[in-house]
């Protein structure tokens, strides 16, 4: 890496920075300044952040440097500048969820992930943009402004964690956290050319994550490489007494296992994910990457997951139903926006009408409809049964295979404005990602090729708790060649 | 699938949303489209399939029933749109006859 080139230290990965900080070749302040410089240079175009903590971040970096100079023992991520998606509560730092509803909300507590990263010495640069309440696939439904794709600012970064993905891709953060309810980490990872990991449901605490679809939501990293994703997962995973859905499983050293052999890992390729209307070059990019994985010694074979096509309709029943219920809490009473009203009921209805944006209202309407008397069994109950079938499909597949390799999305990043007026077109963007949330599985996206100059990520899926295997295979694939050199046009 | 304006109004009331006329028509059309699409699920015979509300192998997770410290009143009320003494304040819920 050429440190005198534009970007300088901001281009380092987390693991490179940890090494250099420990050897005292660089200071936390120098690293933080370099990233803030990059933020100042690129934010006018990219708009990845909703809140930036320039002064606080610099002060925290100085405090780390003083401790290091004094010879104190420092935690693993000491001095690493990170970003959090703005749906994770940060004590004393505005948390908007991309909504007018929470424009001025200052949480009185930290989400567990925020507390853990702070405890590990990470420096919070700021809070990143998202589709309002994480509902969307392009980050255009942010109530504040859209985020641009760093590869081409006329394109969307994907969503809903578009701000986190764009920040990492543009060197405006070393690493970031996103949340994934139906693909919101993995889709922007693919569109922005970064690594994205949606962990097993229950692997990472959701305490302090603003709730969207509670049986689907999961927090995970967006990173410059697989090693960084492994380090971050290790930092945030594990049981949390404040989230009763966290799994009581031990947390392995994910980064330590990365170099291990991938020979004889059994990789399945379910044909159903290569959907009708898919960009032929994206299809070619995934197929070429699967061959590359085979050349590493993995055993590759096709398989069928017959219920795959029913996952998207089931998802667009379950997620809005849970959302409509979760968002009932925004009533203008305890926190957030309040509209005027001559009585409580008028205040309540006007608050929700004025402060929720179009996609959030649409999901509340759909969710309320499918849960309402007379429709519950035809839609919500049926969707829950379809969820069982999808889970059983995967259970059978994982008797034969360790990993499934599939596309992340049928296309590369699309132009800003292209799908915002057409809800069904936007929903279909998620066709390759929602299955994992429905079944609670982990999914890792690793950049694999450039199609007409734009990044494409391959998605690796595994059984619950198989993050180590996914990361190991993802790492071997990443090391097998420069993905930017694989160009299709 | 056809949805009527009356159905949209009923749903909006349940969801406590005071929709504008433009939104009522827009959501009538879009709700129809979305429900028409998810209807695809009903091609499947699921009469013998149990529903999944969640997908992890945990059930009935409990913690000891012990009091834990909470937020002081000022912290809990710091984000309140309106505060009266140590309470959240709201406009009248019942008419004052």
The mean predicted confidence, pLDDT, of chain A is 97
pLDDT at res. B60: 85
Contact A388 B50 (CB under 8 A): yes
What's the CA gap between B76 and A106, in Å, rounded?
11
Query: For residue B32, which residues of chain A lie inside 8 Å, CB to CB?
Result: none
Q: From the list A333, A337, A352, which residue is nearest B17 (CB)? A: A352
Among the listed residues A10, A99, A160, A205, the single catalytic one is A160
Q: Residue ranges of chain A with pLDDT lower than 50?
A: 1-2
Contact A356 B15 (CB under 8 A): no
**For this structure, is A160 an active site residue?**
yes
Residues in chain B: 97
- Residue A240 vs residues A1, A249, A467, B83: alpha-carbon distances, Å: 39, 11, 19, 33
Query: For residue A335, which residues of chain B lie inside 8 Å, CB to CB?
Result: 79-81
pLDDT at res. A6: 52
CA A156, A162, A166, A172 torsion: positive or negative? positive
Per-residue pLDDT reduced to its tens digit, A169-227? 999 999 999 999 999 999 999 999 999 999 999 999 999 999 999 999 999 999 999 99
Q: From the list B14, B34, B56, which residue is nearest A202 (CB)? A: B56
Pairing relation of β-strands A403-407 and A299-303? unpaired
Residue A39: left if φ>0, alpha if ψ -120 to 50, beta else—which one?
alpha
**For this structure, is A85 an active site residue?**
yes
What's the CA gap between A78 and A231, in Å, rounded?
13
Paired with A410 in beta bridges are: none
Q: Is B24 helix (H, G, I), strand (E, B) or coil?
A: helix
Chain B residue with Cα closest to A394? B55
Contact A368 B78 (CB under 8 A): no
Task: Say whether the peptide bond before residue A97 is cis (omega within 30 degrees of 0).
Answer: no
Count the Cβ atoms, other than its own, within 10 Å of residue A333.
18
Instruction: Provide the ipTM.
Output: 0.95
Q: Is B87 helix (H, G, I), strand (E, B) or coil?
A: strand
Contacts with B68 (C-beta within 8 Å, 6 or more apart), sequence order:
none
What's the CA gap between B55 and A232, in Å, rounded?
24
What's the CA gap between A3 and A9, in Å, rounded?
6
What number is the average pLDDT over the span B13-28? 97
What's the CA gap between A258 and A252, in Å, rounded?
12
Q: From the list A109, A350, A386, which residue is nearest B41 (CB)? A: A386
Q: Tokens 């009538």 identify what position?
A: B28
Q: Which of B3, B15, B86, B96 to mutate to test the interface with A (most CBs of A within 10 A)?
A: B15
C-beta separation of A347 from A338 below 8 A: yes
pLDDT at res. B54: 85
pLDDT at res. A7: 62
Contact B37 A316 (CB under 8 A): yes
Per-residue pLDDT reduced to its tens digit, A388-425? 999 999 999 999 999 999 999 999 999 999 999 999 99
Q: How far is A13 from chain B (nearest CA, A)?
A: 33
Pairing relation of β-strands A81-85 and A175-180? parallel
pLDDT at res. A1: 47
Q: What angle do helix axes A112-119 and A226-236 make, rounded to 10 degrees?
A: 110
Paired with B46 in beta bridges are: none
Chain A residue with Cα closest to B73? A108
pLDDT at res. B83: 97
Q: How far is A396 from chain B (nearest CA, A)?
A: 15
Per-residue pLDDT reduced to its tens digit, B48-96? 999 998 888 788 888 889 999 999 999 999 999 999 999 999 999 887 6
Query: For residue B91, which residues of chain A lie inside 8 Å, CB to CB?
Result: 341-344, 346-347
**For this structure, is A10 an active site residue?**
no
Cα Rg of chain B (Å, integer): 23
What's the CA gap between A141 and A137, in Å, rounded?
9
What's the CA gap between A288 and A451, in Å, rounded?
12
What number is the average pLDDT over the span B6-24? 97
Q: What is the pTM for the complete model shown?
A: 0.97
What's the CA gap between B33 and B27, in Å, rounded?
9
What's the CA gap between B96 and B83, in Å, rounded?
21
Chain B residue with Cα closest to A109? B71
What's the CA gap between A107 and A90, in Å, rounded?
6
Contact B50 A385 (CB under 8 A): yes
Q: From the list A309, A353, A440, which residue is nearest B55 (CB)? A: A440
Among the listed residues A10, A27, A85, A324, the single catalytic one is A85
Contact B79 A332 (CB under 8 A): no
Contact A378 B33 (CB under 8 A): no
Contact B12 A215 (CB under 8 A): no
C-beta separation of A122 from A82 below 8 A: yes
């Amino acid at each position: 890496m050429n440190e005198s080139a534009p970007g300088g230290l901001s281009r380092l990965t987390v693991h490179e920075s940890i090494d250099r900080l420990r050897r005292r070749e660089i200071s936390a302040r120098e690293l933080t300044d370099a990233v803030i410089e990059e933020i100042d240079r690129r934010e006018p175009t990219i708009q990845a952040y909703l809140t930036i903590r320039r002064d606080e971040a610099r002060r925290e970096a100085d405090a780390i440097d003083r401790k290091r100079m004094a010879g104190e023992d420092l935690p693993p991520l000491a001095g690493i500048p990170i970003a959090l998606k703005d749906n994770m509560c940060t004590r004393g730092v505005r948390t908007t969820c991309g909504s007018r509803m929470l424009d001025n909300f200052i949480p009185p507590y930290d989400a567990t992930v925020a507390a853990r990263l702070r405890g590990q010495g990470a420096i919070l640069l700021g809070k990143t943009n998202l589709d309002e309440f994480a509902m969307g696939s392009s980050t255009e439904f942010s109530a504040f402004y859209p985020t641009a794709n760093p590869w081409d600012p006329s394109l969307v970064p994907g969503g809903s964690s578009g701000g986190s993905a764009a920040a990492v891709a543009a060197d405006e953060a070393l690493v970031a956290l996103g949340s994934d309810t139906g693909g919101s980490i993995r889709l922007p990872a693919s569109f922005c050319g970064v690594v994205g990991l949606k962990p097993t449901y229950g692997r990472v605490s959701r305490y302090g994550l603003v709730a969207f679809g509670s049986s689907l939501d999961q927090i995970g990293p967006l990173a410059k490489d697989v090693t960084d994703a492994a380090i971050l997962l290790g930092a945030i995973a594990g049981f949390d007494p404040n989230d009763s859905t966290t799994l009581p499983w031990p947390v392995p050293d994910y980064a330590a296992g990365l170099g291990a052999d991938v020979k004889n890992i059994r990789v399945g390729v379910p044909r159903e994910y290569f959907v009708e209307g898919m960009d032929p070059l994206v299809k070619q990019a995934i197929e070429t990457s699967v061959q590359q994985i085979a050349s590493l010694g993995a055993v590759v074979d096709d398989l069928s997951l017959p219920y795959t096509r029913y996952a998207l309709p089931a998802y667009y029943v379950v997620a809005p139903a849970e959302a409509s219920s979760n968002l009932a809490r925004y009533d203008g009473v305890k926190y957030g926006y309040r509209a005027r009203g001559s009585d409580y009921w008028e205040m309540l209805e006007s608050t929700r009408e004025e402060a929720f944006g179009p996609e959030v209202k649409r999901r509340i309407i759909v969710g309320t409809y499918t849960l309402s008397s007379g429709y519950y069994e035809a839609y919500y109950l049926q969707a829950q049964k379809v969820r069982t079938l999808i889970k059983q499909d995967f259970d059978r597949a994982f008797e034969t295979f360790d990993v499934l390799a599939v596309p992340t999305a049928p296309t590369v990043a699309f132009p800003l404005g292209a799908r915002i007026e057409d809800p069904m077109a936007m929903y279909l963007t998620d066709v390759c990602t929602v299955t994992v949330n429905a079944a609670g599985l982990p999914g890792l996206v690793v950049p694999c090729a450039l199609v007409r100059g734009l990044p494409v990520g391959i998605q690796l899926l595994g059984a619950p708790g198989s993050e180590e295997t996914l990361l190991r295979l993802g790492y071997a694939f990443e090391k097998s060649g420069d993905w930017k050199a694989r160009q299709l046009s | 699938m056809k949805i009527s304006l009356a159905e949209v109004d009923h749903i909006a009331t349940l969801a406590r949303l005071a929709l504008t006329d433009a939104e009522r028509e827009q959501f009538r059309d879009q709700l129809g489209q979305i429900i028409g699409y998810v209807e695809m699920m009903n091609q499947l015979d699921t009469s013998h399939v149990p529903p999944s509300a969640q997908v992890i192998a945990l059930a009935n997770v409990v913690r000891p029933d012990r009091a834990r410290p909470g937020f002081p009143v000022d912290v809990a009320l710091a984000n309140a749109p309106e505060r009266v003494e140590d309470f959240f304040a709201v406009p009248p819920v019942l008419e004052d006859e």
